A and B are shown apart, each in its own frame.
Chain A
Amino acid sequence: MSTAEGREPPADRPERDTRPPTSAVLVSLVAAAVATAAGTVAAPLGGAVVGMSVVGVAAGSTLGSSRVLLWAAAAGVVGIALAAALGGGAEPLLVAAVALAVAWDVADHGVLLGRQVGRAARTRRNVAVHAATTLLVGTLSAAVVYGSYVAASGGQPIAALALLLFGGVVLLSAFR
C-alpha cells in the first residue's frame, strides 16, 4: 500500500516513466481552462481565482502529486464561491463547477495512472472512458438541478431549500 506522496527511485537505474499520461494532462488542462472561462463570465474576479487551478493542475501533473492537485481544486472551489458571492449567474457557475470537477478528477486519475502504469504504456482508452463518465455524471446532475430550479422559480423556493438542506444535514450526521 503506497501513500500518495511516497516515491523513492532506486539508485542509478533507469526509471519507468511514472508521469501521468499526456492525454490525461491535456484533458484536465482543457477542462480547467473551460472552468476559468466560465468563472470569468460569472464574475471576473472569481474567474481569476479559478484560473489559479489551471496552474495548479499543470504543476500537480508535472510533479505527479495528488496533493498539489487537491490544492488546485481548492483554489477552483474558492474561485467559484467568490464568483457566486459577487452575484454570478447560475448557468456559468454550473458550467464552471462541472468543468472544475472534470479537471481535478482527470488530473488526479492521471497521476495515479502514471504511478501504476506509466506514461509509456497504453492508457488512452482508459483515460477517455474515465473523463467521459465524469463529464456525463457532472452534466446530468447539473441538468437535473438546473431543470428543477427553472421549474420551481417564481415561487418561494428558499423555504423548501432550507428544509431540504436541513434534512440532508441531519441525515448525513445520522449515517456517519
Chain B
Amino acid sequence: MTASGDGSQTTGAGAAGGDTAAVDDGGSTDADDPTERRALEAFDTDRWVGIVGVALAFVGVGVVLRHPGTVLVGATGVGFALYARLGDAGEARLAVTRRLSDRTPDPGEAVTVTLRARNVGDASRFDLRIVDGVPPGLEVVDGPARVATALRPGASVTVSYTVRASRGDHEWETIRAVTRDPAGARERITELETPTRLTCTPELAAGGDLPLRGLTTVSHGRVSTDMGGSGVEFFATREYRRGDPLKRVDWNRRARTGELATLELREERAATVVLLIDAREAAYVASRPDADTAVEASVEAAGQAFTALLANGDRVGIATVGPRDCWLPPGAGTDHAVRGRDTLATDPALAPTPADGTFYGSLWFRRFRRRLPGDAQVLLFSPLVDRYPTSLARRIDAYGHLVTVLSPDVTVTASSPGAGDGDSGGRASDDAGATPAAGTTSAGTTSAGTTPSGPRGAGSVTQGGRVVALERRERIRDLRTAGLRAIEWGDRSFPVAVANANGRWSR
C-alpha cells in the first residue's frame, strides 16, 4: 500500500532532464545514471501537529505570569514549528544495482543478494529508507532486505541479504524508497525498477525407480494391451512354431508332457501420457501459511512421473489447469526430457505463487480436448480442495481417456488422511532419500507441504479445516466410485503411495 490517498504520481525520469532510463541488465552499470523510477507525491506525516499550539500556550502563560523563562521556552517551540514546516521530502534519485552470488542456483541453495544504491541527485537525503522488492516466491533467510540511512550526493549504501532458492523463475519487484525531510514532517515514496532474475531448476529424479507401469500400460488401459507378444508379463502359452526364441520355450511343460510350447508374453505398447497439473489459484494451498503449496508437491511428483514414464519408453506431455496456458505435447527422447524439466521448473503457469487472471473452465477444457491425443491417458495432479478437479477428471474420463487422479494431501486433519482403504495416509517421515528429486526439498524445507508427523493436537485444527478435509475425502471416494483411480499422499513420499496403489491394482 502506498501513501497515496491523493494518488497522483509523477514520473521521475523526465524530471531529471534527458537521462535515459538506465536498465541494469546484469549488475554491470557503473551506477551514475539514475535507476528508472516513479515518485509518488509527498504527503504530511502529521508528526509535528500541535507544536505551534504548545509554543503559543507557553508564551501566553509566560505573558500572563510575566515570567520570561516560560516565554523563552515557548519561543524555542516556534523554532521547532518552523523546522517542521520548512523542509520537504524530495524524491530518491538513486542509481541502484543488484548483484546475485548465483543466478541459477540449485534448490535450497543460499544466494547472497547485494543491493547498492547511490545518491545521484544534487540534494542530500537526510532520511532515506530502502526496501528491496524480493520476489514473492523467495524467502529471505538472513538479514532484512532493507536499510535506513542518510546519503550526501554521490554517497552510496549497500545492503546484503540471503535468500533461499526454490523452484521457479523469480523476478525482483519494485524497490521502495521512502524519503523524509529532516524533521520527518513530510514523506515520499519513490519506486525504483532494477530487474533481476533468479532461475532455479531442480534436477528431475533419475528415471525408472517410480513404479508407474501399473498406472499406465498394464492391463487396464484403453491403450489396448491385451495382446500376446513380447512383453515381460505372462499372457498365455501356445504351440511352438519354428523360429520362436528358445528362451521363451516353456521348458517345464516340455519336461512334464514332452510337448513343445511357447510362452506368450503380454504385448506392451508405449503409452501416451499427459501430466495435468492443477495450478488454479485454489490449488495454491498448504497445511501452514509458510509451507510449500500443493502446486509444489504436484510439480515434484509430476517430475518423478515424467522421468519414470520416459524411462519406460512412454510418450509424456505436460499441461496445466489454470489461467495461464501451458502445453508440452507428448514426446520422448533426451531433448524432450530437458524441455519437460524446464517446463516444470520455470513455466509461468506453474509459478510458485498464483498467476494473475481469471480461469475460464469451459474455454480451457475445449482447448485441452483439442490438444489431447485420442489415445492419451491423463494423470491429474490436484490437492482436491474444491469441487472442480473431480468434475474435470470425470469429464476427461467421459471423453474416453484413462484418468488417474494424484492428490497431495494438504488438508490439516487431526487423524491421518486416506479413505480408510489403506492405500495411503501413513505418516512416514519426509521423503528423505526416496528419490533424488526429493533432494529438491533440501535442508530448510524438509517438512514442506506436510503437517508435522505424529498426532497433531486437535486444537490446532480449525473447524473449517476439518470440514474441508472430510469433503476432500468424499471427493476421492466419489472418484473411486465412478471408476477413476485416485492416489493421495501426505507426509509419505509420492513413490511410496504409488507403489502401494500399484500393489492393489496390478493383481
Is B126 in contact with A145, judged by CB distance below 8 angstroms?
A: no
Is B52 in contact with A88, judged by CB distance below 8 angstroms?
A: no
Is A13 in contact with B149, judged by CB distance below 8 angstroms?
A: no
Query: A162 CA to B157 CA in the complex, in Å?
Result: 50
Question: Does chain A have a CB within 8 A of B75?
Answer: yes
Interface residues of A in 5-39 (CB under 8 A from B): 10-13, 16
Is A138 in contact with B80, judged by CB distance below 8 angstroms?
A: yes
Query: A80 CA to B47 CA in the complex, in Å?
Result: 21
Residues of A within 8 A of B150 (CB): 125-126, 129-130
Is B61 in contact with A81, judged by CB distance below 8 angstroms?
A: yes
Is B63 in contact with A165, judged by CB distance below 8 angstroms?
A: yes
Query: A11 CA to B56 CA in the complex, in Å?
Result: 47
Instruction: Report whether over half of chain A's contact residues are helix, strand or loop; otherwise say mixed.
Output: helix
Query: A121 CA to B132 CA in the complex, in Å?
Result: 12
Interface string of A95-133 (1 = CB under 8 A from B): 001100100010011001100111011110111011001
Is A94 in contact with B149, judged by CB distance below 8 angstroms?
A: no
Is A84 in contact with B129, judged by CB distance below 8 angstroms?
A: no
Interface string of B91-130 (1 = CB under 8 A from A): 0000000000000000000000000000000000011110
Question: Does chain B have a CB within 8 A of A63?
Answer: no
Return the chain A residue nearest B1 by Cβ.
Answer: A1
Residues of A within 8 A of B143 (CB): 120-121
Q: Given the interface contacts A98-B76, A126-B149, A145-B79, does A120 sit within 8 Å of B69 by beta carbon?
A: no
Question: Does chain A have a CB within 8 A of B175?
Answer: no
Residues of A within 8 A of B60 (CB): 165
Among A1, A108, A126, point to the contact of B128 (Cβ < 8 A): A126
Return the chain A residue nearest B4 by Cβ.
Answer: A1
Question: Does chain B have a CB within 8 A of A144?
Answer: yes
Among A81, A97, A120, A157, point to the contact of B144 (Cβ < 8 A): A120
Q: Given the interface contacts A16-B144, A118-B144, A172-B56, does A141 sit within 8 Å of B290 by beta carbon?
A: no
Number of interface residues of A (CB under 8 A): 59
A146 CB to closest chain B CB (Å) equals: 6
Question: Does chain A have a CB within 8 A of B420?
Answer: no
Query: A97 CA to B67 CA in the complex, in Å?
Result: 16
Interface residues of B in 56-70 (CB under 8 A from A): 56, 58-63, 65-70
Is B144 in contact with A125, judged by CB distance below 8 angstroms?
A: no
Interface residues of A in 121-175 (CB under 8 A from B): 121-123, 125-127, 129-130, 133-134, 137-138, 140-142, 144-146, 149, 153, 157-158, 161-162, 165, 168-169, 172
Query: A22 CA to B82 CA in the complex, in Å?
Result: 29
Is A87 in contact with B147, judged by CB distance below 8 angstroms?
A: no
Q: Given the interface contacts A81-B61, A98-B76, does A130 sit within 8 Å of B69 by beta carbon?
A: no
Query: A116 CA to B145 CA in the complex, in Å?
Result: 11
Is B144 in contact with A117, judged by CB distance below 8 angstroms?
A: yes
Is A93 in contact with B144, judged by CB distance below 8 angstroms?
A: no
Is A137 in contact with B148, judged by CB distance below 8 angstroms?
A: no
Residues of B within 8 A of A161 (CB): 59, 62-63, 71
Interface string of B378-421 (1 = CB under 8 A from A): 00000000000000000000000000000000000000000000
Residues of B within 8 A of A134 (CB): 83, 182-183
Query: A124 CA to B59 CA in the complex, in Å?
Result: 36
Query: A104 CA to B131 CA in the complex, in Å?
Result: 26
Among A108, A112, A138, A146, point to the contact of B72 (Cβ < 8 A): A146
A residues lining the B interface (CB < 8 Å):
1-2, 10-13, 16, 42, 77, 80-81, 84-85, 87-90, 93-94, 97-98, 101, 105, 108-109, 112-113, 116-118, 120-123, 125-127, 129-130, 133-134, 137-138, 140-142, 144-146, 149, 153, 157-158, 161-162, 165, 168-169, 172
Contacts A12-B289, A141-B76 known; 7 new A-B pairs at CB < 8 A: A1-B2, A42-B69, A101-B80, A141-B80, A141-B82, A142-B72, A162-B63
Chain A to chain B: the 10 pairs with minimum beta-carbon distance, closest first: A141-B79, A90-B69, A129-B150, A126-B148, A84-B70, A145-B75, A123-B148, A133-B182, A93-B69, A117-B148
Pick 14 A–B contacts, CB within 8 A, sort by A.
A11-B289, A12-B290, A42-B69, A84-B65, A97-B73, A97-B76, A97-B77, A116-B146, A122-B157, A126-B129, A141-B75, A142-B76, A144-B79, A145-B72
B residues lining the A interface (CB < 8 Å):
1-3, 5, 47, 52, 54, 56, 58-63, 65-73, 75-80, 82-83, 126-129, 131, 143-144, 146-150, 157, 159, 178, 182-184, 288-290
